[in-house]
Amino acid sequence: MAANKKISSAVIRRLPRYYRYLSDLLNMDITRISSKELSKRMGITASQIRQDLNCFGGFGQQGYGYNVEFLYKEIGNILGVNDRFTTIIIGVGNMGHALAHYGNFRKRGFDTIGLFDVNPDIIGQEINGIKVMHTDELESFVQKNHVDIAILTVPYEQTPEVAEKVARLGIKGLWNFSPMDLRLPYDVVIENVHLSDSLMVLGYRTKEKFGKSRK
Amino acid sequence: MAANKKISSAVIRRLPRYYRYLSDLLNMDITRISSKELSKRMGITASQIRQDLNCFGGFGQQGYGYNVEFLYKEIGNILGVNDRFTTIIIGVGNMGHALAHYGNFRKRGFDTIGLFDVNPDIIGQEINGIKVMHTDELESFVQKNHVDIAILTVPYEQTPEVAEKVARLGIKGLWNFSPMDLRLPYDVVIENVHLSDSLMVLGYRTKEKFGKSRK
DNA sequence: TAGATTGTTAATCGATTAACAATC
DNA sequence: TAGATTGTTAATCGATTAACAATC
């Protein structure tokens, strides 16, 4: 039976990964799995799997392992898949556009309910049944609709300003795609997606492993 | 003077972040910075900064700190910004499209030299001066052009197959946007960008911190 | 029951932080 | 020179792994 110690960031970041693997197992009609077998599939230790899961509860059974469907649902609940988070996308450029089209988020518990931009060419366009509104309408929209998470895909220079505005309106989660670390004087959870950082790490590792000769 | 011990993943992942902050300092015409001052800006300890940098060399000077421009260039070199990595994008859907347009990669050392898709409506389109080719032309393209990194933005089901093809052609770096962990029987460096995972972590943290009442 | 596998405690490993001598 | 700040070693902290009693 799990205690409620502070759960570390490392553990939390592994949860979506467990969720994906369990989803795959379900699709393969596998009904039970041991930490040992799962460890082989995921490339992590069985010990870590059991430790991680026991942060949240005893989901397994001695001598049996874990019931895949049960564990899948439990992790889904921990992650809030059934809580349904409402999201808005601010900045419907190429990246915002791509995210608006990405169907996978819905399966994971996120419903996009608003799109915002300042470009008149884009405003009024409909994506996945949602009309792009002018960012000026953001405030009244947020007053009428509960918004959990704002996805920020605005140009670099505008990011701090828009982020502050969003935080001031009381939105509690912020998914930031700009290559800057936001720090806000508001009580907001921020998750950064620094794509260039990720690419640079890949470049470094490729170079480190295979060298880099050509210009 | 740094030894050449194995540099940990944690350190490497911080390099692009240092690079960004140094770039900002340069833009603010700040010529020197101490680890203490940088630590305040970045929200990490000065000790960590000095430890990290000393994995690669003694870039500072006692009593002075670090020369911003020099350090910026050194980290740039470590990351390979001047080595110029060539990249191709496979799958020019919404995400591939967004990445093809994203100018930031060039500044960080990456040149997109090829775009590939199988959709006849997309093939022949030009993005940033590059024509989208059919994926069938991939092999001959890679034989004629040195490609360091393949960016995979193909649909979920096709990802393993395309990844394998790319690896077989000798491409050494693979940036994967599909929500699956690729494992290949080839010597390839893989960096995953699991956007839904990141969003789920944000959802979890928002819920954890502020609760989640509404459906 | 015997075998398997969990939940959990203890041991290990690695990363972060603190401290300080070296030195600009 | 005196003050500041690095580079680096040592101490601490936290995360991962190992071990095993509990138990299905």
Question: Which of A16, A80, A200 is facing B79, going by the closest CB pair?
Answer: A200
User: With 60 as the cut, is the pLDDT of residue A1 above it?
Assistant: no
| pLDDT, tens digit, 9 for 90 and up, residues A97-156 | 999 999 899 999 999 999 999 999 999 999 999 999 999 999 999 999 999 999 999 999
Distance B30 CA to D4 C1' (A): 18
Please give the pLDDT value at position A128. 93
| pLDDT, tens digit, 9 for 90 and up, residues B121-174 | 999 999 999 999 999 999 999 999 999 999 999 999 999 999 999 999 999 999
- Give the separation between CA B176 and CA A34, rounded to whole angstroms: 28
Cβ of A163 less than 7 A from strand C: no
The answer to whether B135 and B116 have CB atoms below 8 angstroms apart is: yes
| Burial (0-12, 13-18, 19+ Cβ within 10 Å), B21 | buried
Q: Measure CA B66 to chain center.
A: 25
The answer to whether B195 and B177 have CB atoms below 8 angstroms apart is: yes
On chain B, the residues whose CB falls within 8 A of the CB of A157 are none
User: With 50 as the cut, is the pLDDT of residue A215 above it?
Assistant: no
- Give the separation between CA A142 and CA A114, rounded to whole angstroms: 9
Find residue A192's DSSP bridge partners: A176
In chain A, the residue whose alpha carbon lies closest to the alpha carbon of B190 is A202
Please give the pLDDT value at position A56. 97
- Give the separation between CA B100 and CA A119, rounded to whole angstroms: 21
| pLDDT, tens digit, 9 for 90 and up, residues B92-136 | 999 999 999 998 999 999 999 999 999 999 999 999 999 999 999
| Confidence tier at A212 by pLDDT (50, 70, 90) | confident
Contact B193 A194 (CB under 8 A): no
| pLDDT, tens digit, 9 for 90 and up, residues A15-58 | 999 999 999 999 999 999 999 999 999 999 999 999 999 999 99
Q: What is the 3-state secondary structure (H, E, C) of chain A?
A: CCCCCCCCHHHHHHHHHHHHHHHHHHHCCCCEECHHHHHHHHCCCHHHHHHHHCCCCCCEECCCEEEHHHHHHHHHHHHCCCCCEEEEEECCCHHHHHHHHCCHHHHCCEEEEEEEECCCCCCCCEECCEEEEEHHHHHHHHHHCCCCEEEECCCHHHHHHHHHHHHHCCCCEEEECCCCCCCCCCCCEEEECCHHHHHHHHHHHHHHHHCCCCC
Find residue A42's DSSP bridge partners: none
Q: How far is B98 from chain A (nearest CA, A)?
A: 5
* Segment A28-32 long-range contacts (CB within 8 Å, at least 24 positions apart): A30/A68, A31/A67, A31/A68, A31/A69, A32/A64, A32/A65, A32/A66, A32/A67, A32/A68
| Encoded tokens for B93 | 């859907």
Distance B63 CA to D3 C1' (A): 8
User: With 90 as the cut, is the pLDDT of residue A4 above it?
Assistant: no
Higher-pLDDT residue of B213 and A167 is: A167
**Average pLDDT taken over every residue of chain B:** 95
% of residues, chain B, pLDDT over 90: 94
Give the strands of the sheet with A32-33, arranged side by side: A32-33, A65-67, A60-61
User: With 50 as the cut, is the pLDDT of residue B55 above it?
Assistant: yes
The answer to whether A1 and A56 have CB atoms below 8 angstroms apart is: no
Backbone angles phi, psi at A147, to 5 degrees: -120, 120
Higher-pLDDT residue of B211 and B30 is: B30
How many alpha carbons lie under 13 Å from residue B195 in its C-beta half-sphere? 22
A186: left (phi over 0), alpha (psi -120 to 50) or beta: beta
Let me know how long chain B is. 215
Please give the pLDDT value at position B4. 52
Section A81-100 average pLDDT: 97
Question: Which of B104, B175, B212 is facing A80, going by the closest CB pair?
Answer: B212
| Confidence tier at A6 by pLDDT (50, 70, 90) | confident
Find and list the nucleotides of strand C having atoms within 7 Å of a protein beta carbon. Answer: 2-9, 14-19, 22-24
Section B71-82 average pLDDT: 98
